[in-house]
Amino acid sequence: MTGLLEASAASGTPDAAEVFAALGDKHRLGILRGLGMRPASATALAADAPVTRQAVVKHLRVLERVGLIAARREGREVVYDVRLEGLQTPVQWLDDIAAAWDRRLDAVKQAAEGPSEG
Amino acid sequence: MTGLLEASAASGTPDAAEVFAALGDKHRLGILRGLGMRPASATALAADAPVTRQAVVKHLRVLERVGLIAARREGREVVYDVRLEGLQTPVQWLDDIAAAWDRRLDAVKQAAEGPSEG
DNA sequence: ACATTGTGCAACCTAAAGGTTGCAGTTTCT
DNA sequence: AGAAACTGCAACCTTTAGGTTGCACAATGT
């Protein structure tokens, strides 16, 4: 088995909390921005990061586990790239909750404006 | 000074990573869903949660610090409520990065389909 | 073959996150 | 005044997150 390049994004739809947790780190957001511009290896990313390659590797694993990025082997390098579908879960969750809150807050506003008051 | 109800959401626009980190917990997502339905006190929320009131209080503080909820005193209770604007930061960030990724991935597709290949 | 460059693994460290318990302070109700 | 119901603070515990170092393994270039 390959292992490295498989057991990651294939895990179906990840938990919203897990994805948010993966996004909840300054360095990982930086990595996502970087990979958004062009695919890169851990070593290459570490060159621009304020931490060691190993730290970057750990961050990449976290991002990979929740499906935000994918890895492919290219010769002796492992190149990571962004997965657009990975944004599905967090975007969906935020959409849903924004809609729910909006409905409720709207109802409050209407209840305050509509009925008699003075 | 009041302290309790002030030094929280007034901190301007919070860091995206911090907001995501605040969202990166199963219990906190549950709390946000609950508060989305109706405002509630920590004690009330704890009744529905699998953890103690104190744990819920800590979660509420985290959510408050990043501006996702707000607290107001009501008699002897402290009632927490949702803040729609609190979703601004994460939504914005996801929008931005999705757009950036989309542009780049689109360019890759076109480069693969456009030029000669046979 | 051999040096180079990049990845992978493991041990280890420190700080922070999440949670608990216990107790003191406040507001409300009777 | 006294009981009841909440909130607030502090100490403490355990696990995890983020990071580092060191070394072994694999692919490439000369």
Q: In percent, how much of chain A has pLDDT > 90?
A: 76
Q: Mean pLDDT throughout B6-32?
A: 85
Contacts of A53-60 with C-beta under 8 Å, sequence gap 24+, read A55/A27, A56/A27, A56/A31, A59/A25, A59/A27, A59/A28, A59/A31, A60/A31
pLDDT at B118: 35
Could you give the CA distance from residue B118 to residue B115 in angstroms, rounded to a whole number?
10
Assigned token pair, B33? 């869903």
> Which chain A residues contact residue B111 at CB under 8 A?
none
Could you give the CA distance from residue A63 to residue A86 in angstroms, rounded to a whole number?
9
Task: Tell me the nearest-neighbour CA distance from B83 into chain A, angstroms.
Answer: 8
Could you give the CA distance from residue A84 to residue A35 in angstroms, rounded to a whole number?
12
Closest Cα in chain A to B106: A84
Q: Give the global pTM.
A: 0.89
More confident residue, B73 or A117: B73
Q: Mean pLDDT throughout B37-47?
A: 97
Q: Would you call B29 an interface residue with chain A, using a CB distance cutoff of 8 Å?
A: yes
Least confident of A88-97, B23-32, B67-76, B103-112: B103-112
